[in-house]
């Protein structure tokens, strides 16, 4: 008779433990923290000012000049100097380094080549800004210079830069 009573008590206590842990897990993960004043766990919410990186504060500091002079070999006997840094009221301009825009190489296309049967010279067919032209090595067209002509690619100079353009 007592074994059945202990089993019932064990199951009842297991259910109670599961309910308590369920309430704890629910409050930790699924409940919004609202301070109703009944518990002392939550602190009242305070409104913080957003960080303003452009506000400059006056800075004061002391220089510690109590070290040995490395050249004269004696201690510096000058009194402490208090330096107060005051930011300038006028706006300072910072020089901006000019960065040239990137070169758009997509406007240059290498369509192919033709070999001159008499001179055995390779002539490249190049399209620049939708204008087609046959060019030999060293020729210029719309600011583009053909430097080297190979069968599968060309070396061009454009806007001061060099690049191989593939077919």
Strands 144-149 and 140-141: antiparallel
DSSP lists the bridge partners of residue 81 as 63
DSSP lists the bridge partners of residue 74 as none
In the chain, what are the domain boundaries?
105-166
Identify each DSSP E strand in 16-143 by its residue range.
59-63, 81-85, 108-115, 122-128, 131-135, 140-141
At residue 100, the pLDDT reads: 77
pLDDT in tens, 82-96: 666 666 665 666 677
Provide mean pLDDT across the span 159-164.
88
Under CATH, which architecture does the 105-166 domain have? Roll (2.30)
Q: Give this prediction's pTM.
A: 0.41
Provide mean pLDDT across the span 44-52.
66
């Amino acid at each position: 008779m007592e074994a059945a009573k202990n089993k019932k008590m064990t199951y009842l206590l297991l259910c109670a433990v599961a309910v308590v842990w369920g309430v704890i897990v629910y409050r930790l993960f699924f409940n919004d923290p609202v301070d109703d004043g009944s518990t002392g766990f939550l602190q009242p919410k305070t409104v913080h000012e957003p960080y303003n990186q452009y506000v400059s504060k006056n800075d004061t500091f002391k220089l510690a000049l109590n070290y040995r002079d490395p050249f004269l070999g004696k201690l510096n006997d000058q009194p402490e100097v208090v330096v107060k840094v005051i930011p300038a009221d006028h706006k300072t301009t910072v020089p901006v380094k000019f960065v040239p825009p990137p070169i758009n190489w997509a406007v240059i296309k290498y369509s192919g080549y033709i070999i001159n049967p008499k001179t055995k010279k390779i002539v490249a067919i190049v399209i620049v800004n939708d204008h087609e032209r046959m060019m030999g090595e060293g020729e210029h067209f719309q600011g583009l210079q053909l430097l080297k002509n190979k069968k599968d690619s060309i070396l061009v100079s454009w806007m001061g830069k060099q690049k191989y353009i593939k077919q």
